Amino acid sequence: MRKIFLLSLLVIFCFPVVSYAQGCMEASSEEGVNVVGYLQSQYEYKFHDGDDENYFTFNRARMGLIGNIPYDFSYYVMYEFSPFKGGAPYLLDGFITYSRLAPYVNISLGQFKSPFSLEVNTPCQGLHTINRSNVVGALAIPFRDIGVLISGNHNKKIKYAFAITNGTGKGEEENNQSKDFAGRVVIDAIKFVSFGGSFSMKTLPPASEGATEDDKLNKFAGELQIEYNNLLFQGEYIMANYESSGGVIIHPPDCSNDEPWEEIIPKGESTSSGFWAQAMYMTQYNLQPVVKLEFYDPDIDEDDDVKSIITYGVNYFFNDWTRLQLNYLYKAEKGFEISNDEILMQLQVQF
């Protein structure tokens, strides 16, 4: 592991690159402090076998500060203020970036998005459907972590990011003696087409109280994007291999889950996988229809546990800062079909 890490650093520092930001938003000016953020007011209708639910909510309400300190440092701070995301406001991102460590290389220290998965690294305000994919919410967590990040790009053709983190998620202290590794590379090989991959290597405290060895979780993802004129196609496959002592893990709230949730982990080795793919077309009327397919298998060795979702949506852009999204989620479960479809509507404004 140490040799792999040292080799990665050598490749990064010897490669001619230009940095790119890990934050979800960009500053409008290079001078002074920039106040940025966005609001996502939302209406939800959920079907539950005759006991349907519908309510208004804030999906996200975020505000932060971006700025530069001449001539080598910059900072990025973002808070979540939605009362439906855990109550009191909390720090979402907070990191300092130094841009003179090596030619065209940025190194960031603090709390930031993990460099794993295309959809995780798509800003929340830039998602083409209201929700992230089920497979991403299950296999790409934690979305954010605390550590050090090295990132950049080569002529905007090859983008990379590599991180060493605690592995416990945002706002959480280290819980073992091992650090976690994650990385992502995206290549714009030819016009209209980009592809890439990412990995995550994690060690976790044993899920079983009697176990002495740490659990291990290795994840891999491959991504593809094709953009031609007003047509956009995106897809991603994710696989996770878990070597566990068995037990129950309590996951904290994140972008895909408003409340803490339990995950039952079987003893031994298990593999989960899934994919998502979506296509959309921007019309001359600022109207963008979207179709998205999701597939998630929590354990490839088990039958009748596959979950799939088809999202039919349309996005309307009032201007560059305001849009309205309408989604219908058709959900299907292999072997245990239930009534759990959803209708979502979201109005978003950025500033």
C-beta of residue 232 within 8 angstroms of C-beta of residue 220: no
Please report the pLDDT score of residue 6 as a whole number: 40
Using only C-alpha atoms, the chain has a radius of gyration, in whole angstroms, of 20
> Which CATH superfamily includes the segment(s) 2-350?
Porin (2.40.160.10)
Asked if the model's pLDDT at residue 2 lies above 50, the reply is no
Cα 124 to Cα 111: distance, rounded to the nearest angstrom: 17
Asked if the model's pLDDT at residue 51 lies above 80, the reply is yes
Please report the pLDDT score of residue 18 as a whole number: 34
Asked if the model's pLDDT at residue 19 lies above 60, the reply is no
User: Among residues 77, 87, 346, 116, which one has the least CA distance to residue 219?
Assistant: 116
C-beta of residue 233 within 8 angstroms of C-beta of residue 263: no
Q: What is the mean pLDDT of residues 201-223?
A: 84
Distances (CA, A) of 46 to 167, 204, 305: 33, 35, 22
- Phi/psi zone of residue 87: left (φ > 0), alpha (ψ -120 to 50 degrees), beta? left
Domain ranges of the chain: 2-350
C-beta of residue 207 within 8 angstroms of C-beta of residue 235: no
Cα 40 to Cα 81: distance, rounded to the nearest angstrom: 11
pTM of the model: 0.85
261 token code pair: 């949730």
